[in-house]
Amino acid sequence: MTTNMTNKQWVAICNIDDILPNMGRCALFNNKQVAIFRVLDSAGGESFYAIDNYCPFSHANTLSRGITGNIDGKTVISSPLYKQHFDLLTGICLEDKNVKVNTYPVRLDGHAVLMSEATINVS
């Protein structure tokens, strides 16, 4: 898997404590609703993911309110209304590979959660 990303400005979104471990929060970023997730692994490591908050199945802004987990090795979020799973790394829906939500670069800098205006393409 290769990730191409044009490097642009990182913008501070919130403090790390604003997103509880293994939960998601919705952020307003570039006038768009984005769901940011903070996922802890069993070794104590921590990863951040950002995808569209808009659920293409329910047509509502709900993905940040789903349950995080892993299915077949992929870190996923489950849609709270109809329970489809989205791969947090690629945005692809596990139940219907033709459905994909956008993913966004997100990282931690000290206590600040940062997002970038770049779009990522994972191939």
Partner 1 sequence: MSAKIKLVVIGNGPVGHNFLEYLVESGNSCQYQVTVFGEEPLPAYDRVHLTAWFKNQDVADINMVSEDFYPKNNFILHTGDKVINIDRTKKLVTSASGMKVHYDKIILATGSFPFVPPVHGHQRDNIFVYRTIEDLEKITAAAKTAKIGTVIGGGLLGLEAAKALMDLGLKTHVVEFAPRLMAVQVDDGGGAMLRKKIQDLGVSVHTQKNTQNISDGDTAVHKMSFADGEILETDIIVFSAGIRPRDELARQAELSMGERGGVIINNNCLTSNQDIYAIGEVALWNNKIFGLIAPGNAMAHAAVDHLTGTGTSEFTGADMSTKLKLMGVDVASIGDAHGNTPNSRSYTYVNDREEVYKKIVVSEDDKYLLGAVLIGDAAEYGSLLQFMLNKMELPSEPEGLILPRVDGSSSGIGIDALPDSAVLCSCMNVSKADVVETVQAGACDMAAIKSCTKAATGCGGCTALVTQVLNNELEKQGVEVNTDLCQHFSYTRQDLYNLVRIEKIKSFDELLEKHGSQSGTGLGCDICKPTAASILASCWNDHVLDEKLHSLQDTNDYYLGNMQKDGTYSIVPRIPGGEITPDGLIVLGEVAKKYNLYTKITGGQRVDLFGARSEQLPAIWRILVDAGFETGHAYGKSLRTVKSCVGSTWCRYGVQDSMGMSILLENRYKGLRSPHKLKMAVSGCTRECAEAQSKDVGIIATENGWNMYVGGNGGMKPRHGDLFAVDLSDVELIQYIDRFFMFYIRTADRLQRTSVWMDNMEGGLEYLKTVIIDDKLGLVNELEQEMSAVVGTYQCEWKTTIEDPIKMKRFEHFVNSKRHDDNVIFTTERQQIRPVLTAEKNTETITQ
* Binding site residues, partner 1, CB under 8 A: 13-14, 18-23, 25-29, 31-33, 36, 39, 41-43, 53-54, 58-62, 65-73, 75-76, 78, 80-81, 83, 85
Residue 6 or 12: the one with the smaller Cβ distance to partner 1 is 12
Residue 61 or 120: the one with the smaller Cβ distance to partner 1 is 61
Enumerate the β-bridge partners of residue 10.
116
Report strand pairing: 46-52 vs 103-104: antiparallel
Angstrom CA distances, 36 to 45, 62, 98, 104, stand at: 17, 12, 22, 9
For the bound state, the minimum distance from the C-beta of residue 31 to partner 1, rounded and expressed in Å, comes to 5
For the bound state, the minimum distance from the C-beta of residue 112 to partner 1, rounded and expressed in Å, comes to 11
Residue 6 or 70: the one with the smaller Cβ distance to partner 1 is 70
Phi-psi category of residue 79: left, alpha or beta, with phi > 0 → left and psi -120 to 50 → alpha? beta
